[in-house]
Structure 1
Amino acid sequence: MKRITLSLALSFGLLAGAAAQADTLLIQRVQTEQGISLPKRGATMAQVEAQFGAPTQKFGAVAGPGSRKRNPPITRWAYNNFNVFFEYNHVVDAVVVKARPEEIGPAPVRN
């Protein structure tokens, strides 16, 4: 019985250590990303391209079903370190991409 308890305790300790290490790495990455310059919400496509240059890839606009007022077209531009999302011609969000596929965080965009 003591052997099983000790085995479980060691296993849990190793797993907890791995999770803590992953969390620490993600926290460190977020802290270093705070220095990354991203497009500001409300900036136009022309302003983003003037400040950050041409994106590595431009994705076509995607709109939801129904009226354009309720489901406006959303366009995504991909840069090396971040993605920019536009509603019509203005930035609604900019998101930093993962450093590695195994990094914990939001699921990557599938094309």
Structure 2
Amino acid sequence: MKKRTLQALCAATVVGFMLTPLSAAVAEELRMSLKDQAQRSAQEDLPRNGLSESSVENRWGQPQSVTGPVGDPPIYQWHYQNFTVYFEGNRVIHSVLSQDR
């Protein structure tokens, strides 16, 4: 009985090690330097948190596209050429540079 249990345990261990690389190969890793992103954000003229929709529109013009509302509270996205602005209701909650720059 002990021999069968040991064989089953060894077989399960071997199968586990064989399947591990397969699951790791499927994963995708995104490497992004936070320092570089922070420096770019500091250099860019992006809408700041708390600005109203009208203030953003007066300063940066009409967005290229608008997404939303999504969820509760409603979240909107205004897409510009170089960045995206996220609104909760009428106020900016986050601005993000586009990655394609």
How far is the alpha carbon of 1:48 from its aligned partner? 0.3
Gaps of 5+ in 2: 1-30
Q: Could you give the per-residue CA deviations for residues 69-109 of structure 1, whole angstroms, max 9, x where no partner exists?
A: xx300000000111000001111110111026xxxxxxxxx
Measure, in 2, the Cα distance between the counterparts of 1:90 and 1:37. Answer: 17
| Matched residue, 1:97 | 98
Measure, in 1, the Cα distance between the counterparts of 2:54 and 2:36. Answer: 33
SS in 2 for 1:34: helix
**One-letter amino acid matched to 2:99:** K
Bigger Rg, which one: 2
How far is the alpha carbon of 1:59 from its aligned partner? 1.1
SS in 1 for 2:58: helix
Q: How many residues align?
A: 71
**One-letter amino acid matched to 1:60:** G
SS in 2 for 1:31: helix
Identity of aligned residues (%): 35
User: Alpha carbons of 1:29 and 1:88: their partners in 2 closer, same or farther (altered >3 Å)?
Assistant: closer
RMSD of aligned alpha carbons:
2.2
1:72 aligns with 2:60: no
* Preserved contact between residue 67 and residue 76 of structure 2 (Cα < 8 Å): yes
Higher relative helix content: 2
Gaps of 5+ in 1: 1-21, 64-70, 101-111
| Aligned pairs (5 A) from 1:24-63 | 27-28=35-36, 30-63=38-71
After superposing the two structures, state which structure 1 stretch, 31-40 or 88-97, moved more.
31-40
1:81 aligns with 2:89: no
SS in 2 for 1:85: strand
TM-score normalised to structure 2 length: 0.60
**One-letter amino acid matched to 1:86:** F
